[in-house]
C-alpha cells in the first residue's frame, strides 16, 4: 500500500484518538512509583481506554497480550506487562495505542521510577529533544530523510546509539501505514512530505551500542549491551503546509510536575 493522505476531518478524528492516548498515559503516571508492577499500569490503561469508548489497539495485535508496551531499562520497545515490581532508578517506556471512531492514536513516553542517575536523566532529555527536532522538520516540501537526520544528528552528538531496525510509521485506520519513518538517514532524501500526511515519529535511543536483540518472549527488544534505552513518540500531521502535533505530553507532565 502507498501512503494514504488524510482529509482535515480524518485528521481531527486522529487527533481525538491521539489525545486519548496522552490522557491514558497520564492515568498511568498517577500510579507510577517504585513497587508498582507494569501489569497494574496495564489494567488501569485498559479500563480508562474502554471507559472512553475506545479499544486498546495493542491488545491482541499479532497476539500481543497487553494494552500497553512497558519497556523497562534495557528493553527498548515491545516489553510485555508483568508482575515484577518497578524499582527506584528504573526507567520505563510506556507505549500506548487506542482505536476510536475508526482511527488510531499511538504515543509513548519514557518515565522515571523514583530517582534516576544523571546519565539516565540526560538520555531521557536528549531522546525527547530529538523528537522535538524531528517534528520541526515535518513540514510540507521536506523529506522523510530530514526527520531521521534530525534525530540522528542530535542523539549521536551525545555519543548515543540510534536503533535502526525499528522505525516510526504512517498512522490512520491501520496502526502501521506507509511510509516508514526511520530515526536516522540523510537530509533531503526519501518521500516528500505533503499535506494530509500523518505519521508517528518515535526516536529509540540507546545509551551505548545501537545493536538490539529480541528476547525469547517473541516481543521484547533489548539493547545488545544491556545498557538502558529511551523512547518517546508523537503523532504528527501536515495541515496547510504546517506541522500539527496531534498527541500530547501535557497531561502526563501536569501529573509529573504536581
pLDDT tens for 29-58 read: 999 999 999 999 999 999 999 999 999 999
Per-residue pLDDT band at 116 (split at 50, 70, 90) = very high
Strands 168-170 and 198-201: antiparallel
Query: Would you kindly state where each structural domain of the chain is located, as residue ranges?
Result: 8-256
How confident is the model at residue 117, as a pLDDT?
98
Average pLDDT on 197-209 reads 98
Q: Using only the alpha carbons of the chain, give its radius of gyration.
A: 17
* pLDDT > 70: percent of the chain: 100
Q: Is residue 143 pLDDT above 90, yes or no?
A: yes
How confident is the model at residue 18, as a pLDDT?
98
Distances (CA, A) of 224 to 15, 47, 208: 36, 35, 9
Average pLDDT on 62-69 reads 98
How confident is the model at residue 123, as a pLDDT?
98
Entry pTM: 0.98
Average pLDDT on 118-135 reads 98
Average pLDDT on 196-215 reads 98
Per-residue pLDDT band at 86 (split at 50, 70, 90) = very high
Q: Is residue 65 pLDDT above 90, yes or no?
A: yes
CA distance 13 to 184: 29
How confident is the model at residue 1, as a pLDDT?
77
Hey, what's the torsion of the CAs at 79, 83, 84, 89, to 10 degrees? 70
How confident is the model at residue 137, as a pLDDT?
97
How confident is the model at residue 64, as a pLDDT?
98
Comparing CA positions, the residue from 153, 130, 161 lying closest to residue 232 is 130
| CATH class of the domain defined by 8-256 | alpha beta
Amino acid at each position: 500500500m502507498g501512503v494514504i493522505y488524510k482529509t482535515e476531518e480524518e485528521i481531527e478524528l486522529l487527533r481525538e484518538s491521539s489525545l486519548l492516548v496522552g490522557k491514558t498515559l497520564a492515568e498511568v503516571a498517577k500510579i507510577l512509583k517504585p513497587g508498582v508492577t507494569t501489569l497494574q499500569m496495564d489494567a488501569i490503561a485498559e479500563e480508562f481506554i474502554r471507559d472512553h469508548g475506545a479499544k486498546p489497539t495493542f491488545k491482541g495485535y499479532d497476539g500481543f497480550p497487553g494494552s500497553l508496551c512497558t519497556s523497562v531499562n534495557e528493553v527498548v520497545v515491545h516489553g510485555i506487562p508483568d508482575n515484577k515490581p518497578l524499582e527506584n532508578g528504573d526507567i520505563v517506556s510506556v507505549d500506548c495505542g487506542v482505536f476510536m471512531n475508526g482511527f488510531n492514536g499511538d504515543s509513548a513516553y519514557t518515565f522515571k521510577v523514583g530517582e534516576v542517575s544523571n546519565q539516565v536523566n540526560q538520555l531521557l532529555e536528549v531522546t525527547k529533544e530529538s523528537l522535538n527536532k524531528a517534528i520541526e522538520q515535518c513540514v510540507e516540501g521536506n523529506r522523510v530523510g530530514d526527520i531521521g537526520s534530525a534525530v540522528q544528528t542530535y542523539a549521536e552528538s551525545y555519543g548515543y546509539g540510534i536503533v535502526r531496525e525499528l522505525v516510526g510509521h504512517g498512522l490512520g485506520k491501520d496502526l502501521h501505514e506507509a511510509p516508514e519513518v526511520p530515526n536516522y538517514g540523510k537530509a533531503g532524501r526519501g518521500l516528500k512530505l505533503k499535506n494530509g500526511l500523518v505519521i508517528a515519529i518515535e526516536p529509540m535511543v540507546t545509551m551505548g551500542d545501537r545493536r538490539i536483540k529480541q528476547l525469547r518472549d517473541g516481543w521484547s527488544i533489548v539493547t545488545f549491551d544491556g545498557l538502558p534505552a529511551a523512547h518517546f513518540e508523537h503523532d504528527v500531521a501536515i495541515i496547510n503546509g504546517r506541522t500539527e502535533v496531534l498527541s500530547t505530553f501535557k497531561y502526563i507532565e501536569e501529573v509529573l510536575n504536581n
